[in-house]
Amino acid sequence: MPQSRRSFISKAALAAAIAPLSTFGQQYEKSIDQTPKASPPSNLKITDVKCGYIRGSLFVKIYTNQDIWGCGEGVDAIPGTYHLVKNFGERIKGKSPLNVHRLFEDIRKSGFFQGAQSGMYVAVLSAIETALWDLAGKALQLPVYQLLGGKFRDKVRVYCDTALYQRNLPTPKDFADAAQAAKKMGFNAIKFDLDQANDPNKYDFYNWTASPAELQRMYDQLAAAREAVGPTIDICADMHGRYDAVTAQAVAKKMESLNLMWLEEPVPAENVDAYKLITASTSTPICAGENHYLAYGFRKMLEIGAVDIVMPDLQKCGGLGEGQRIANLANLYYVPFAPHMVASFLGAMASAHVCASVPNFMILEWQSYFHTQPMFKEIIHYDGEWVNNSFITVSDKPGIGVEINEAGMKKYAIPGIPFFE
């Protein structure tokens, strides 16, 4: 162990301050000495930032001068961003990774004219910011939730996305079977998709006003799921922002008797005034947020009561610190926080640290692909149980607690993009 943390507190000042308080001071000094440290943080510097692209995810690794590194993930708004990652890396090289908020703000503010308000800029920033938390946690030997202020809960509740979108025109029976299968696996909350682009009941493929037969199809599917699992399992439904306001109101009204946990993104994300009208028209809770960025993107939505529940994607909306800010902002309006999550288990656990750290956490998304696609086990290292009866146990290891496996990841890397080079 090269140097204790006292070195950067200033030994002389500390000694002077505690000299008259001999017993108390000694205990204080001892407790500082006994605090585990991986390195003298004052000397820790970022040396490089590298990345790899798999499926819909960007994995970022931040290296330092002390053989510790941090990993983060960005999703969805990441295609074509390799040079953006390298560019952000240049901006933070030589700096201490422990000032996470400051580095986040340096990158965000220096990109004011480069699109730093949303989209790919913020998704890449999310991956970098998350890697900084992982790195800071490893340097200080603390789990990320502790750096975020501690935890309200040890376990984070998740809902299972049933992934019926992989099936062509799923029937009500498919919905019922998927609901029962998820319940059997121990999940007490499940999600379905209601938007079907190739629904033969559509009259027009550009106008997304649902036809009466399409509305009935949606109802029959969710009613079959409700019938299959009974009244005590939470069911939510996603429309992926693909409909118009009149359809949103019709669907929300029609589903009221099914007691949904929420109806998600019935219309596109941009017009929160339209959301307000939809939310005011129904007792079905309305949820949005995975296509909103930064706490700024949630400000008006919350101020005008546009939604009942916010669901930022922490791998896309700005990262873990920004996710916590969004949760705290929502809490001022008594609005629960239910993050979207389409990442690897690294992203799931990173999100879980934030979910543990805020009072108004409701539920986090969990993907059934973790159970069906071997790739997800191959691209990370984690020795604990991933999920148990709808709950993730938040890792107590330093940092996020999940490591990426570059060797396992390489065969899935998107061709033509440098892989951790």
- The distance of closest approach from Cβ of residue 4 to Mg ion in the complex, given in angstroms and rounded to an integer, is 48
> Is residue 234 a contact partner of residue 258, using CB atoms and an 8 Å limit?
no
Tallying the residues shown for the chain, one arrives at 421
Select 134 or 264, whichever has its Cβ closest to Mg ion.
264
Closest CA to 124 of 146, 107, 102, 144: 107
- The distance of closest approach from Cβ of residue 240 to Mg ion in the complex, given in angstroms and rounded to an integer, is 6
Residues 257-296 that bind Mg ion (CB under 5 A): 264
Residue with tokens 């998709």: 193
HSE, CB side, 13 Å, CA atoms: give it for residue 204.
Answer: 6
- 3-state DSSP assignment of residue 237: strand
HSE, CB side, 13 Å, CA atoms: give it for residue 391.
Answer: 9
Select 118 or 357, whichever has its Cβ closest to Mg ion.
118
- The distance of closest approach from Cβ of residue 150 to Mg ion in the complex, given in angstroms and rounded to an integer, is 30
Among the residue ranges 5-13, 75-83, 94-102, 230-238, the one whose residues contact Mg ion (CB under 5 A) = 230-238
- The distance of closest approach from Cβ of residue 193 to Mg ion in the complex, given in angstroms and rounded to an integer, is 8
- 3-state DSSP assignment of residue 262: strand
Q: Which of 73, 161, 238, 308 lies at the binding interface for Mg ion (CB under 5 A)?
A: 238
Select 96 or 367, whichever has its Cβ closest to Mg ion.
367
Tokens at residue 211, please? 């036809």
- The distance of closest approach from Cβ of residue 365 to Mg ion in the complex, given in angstroms and rounded to an integer, is 8
3-state helix, strand, coil in the chain (%, to 5): 40, 15, 40
Select 225 or 394, whichever has its Cβ closest to Mg ion.
225
- 3-state DSSP assignment of residue 277: helix
- Cα–Cα distance for residue pair 334/309, rounded to 1 Å: 9
Tokens at residue 21, please? 């308080």
Select 73 or 134, whichever has its Cβ closest to Mg ion.
73
What residues contact 254, with CB distance under 8 A and at least 6 apart? 215, 218, 219
| Closest residue to Mg ion, based on beta-carbon distance | 238
Select 70 or 289, whichever has its Cβ closest to Mg ion.
289
Select 238 or 322, whichever has its Cβ closest to Mg ion.
238
Select 127 or 237, whichever has its Cβ closest to Mg ion.
237
Select 234 or 264, whichever has its Cβ closest to Mg ion.
264
- The distance of closest approach from Cβ of residue 64 to Mg ion in the complex, given in angstroms and rounded to an integer, is 36
Tokens at residue 7, please? 């070195």
Among the residue ranges 163-171, 226-234, 237-245, 387-395, the one whose residues contact Mg ion (CB under 5 A) = 237-245
Among the residue ranges 69-77, 78-86, 233-241, 266-274, the one whose residues contact Mg ion (CB under 5 A) = 233-241
Tokens at residue 258, please? 């099914």
95 burial (CB, 10 Å; 0-12 / 13-18 / 19+) is middle
- The distance of closest approach from Cβ of residue 265 to Mg ion in the complex, given in angstroms and rounded to an integer, is 5
Residues 347-366 that bind Mg ion (CB under 5 A): none
> Is residue 333 a contact partner of residue 302, using CB atoms and an 8 Å limit?
yes
- The distance of closest approach from Cβ of residue 163 to Mg ion in the complex, given in angstroms and rounded to an integer, is 12
314 phi and psi, to 5 degrees? -75, -10
Is there binding between residue 313 and Mg ion (CB under 5 A)? Answer: no
* Greatest pairwise CA separation for the chain in angstroms: 84
How many residues of this chain bind Mg ion (CB under 5 A)? 2
- The distance of closest approach from Cβ of residue 289 to Mg ion in the complex, given in angstroms and rounded to an integer, is 9
- Cα–Cα distance for residue pair 351/284, rounded to 1 Å: 26
What's at 124, amino acid-wise?
V
Binding site for Mg ion (CB under 5 A): 238, 264
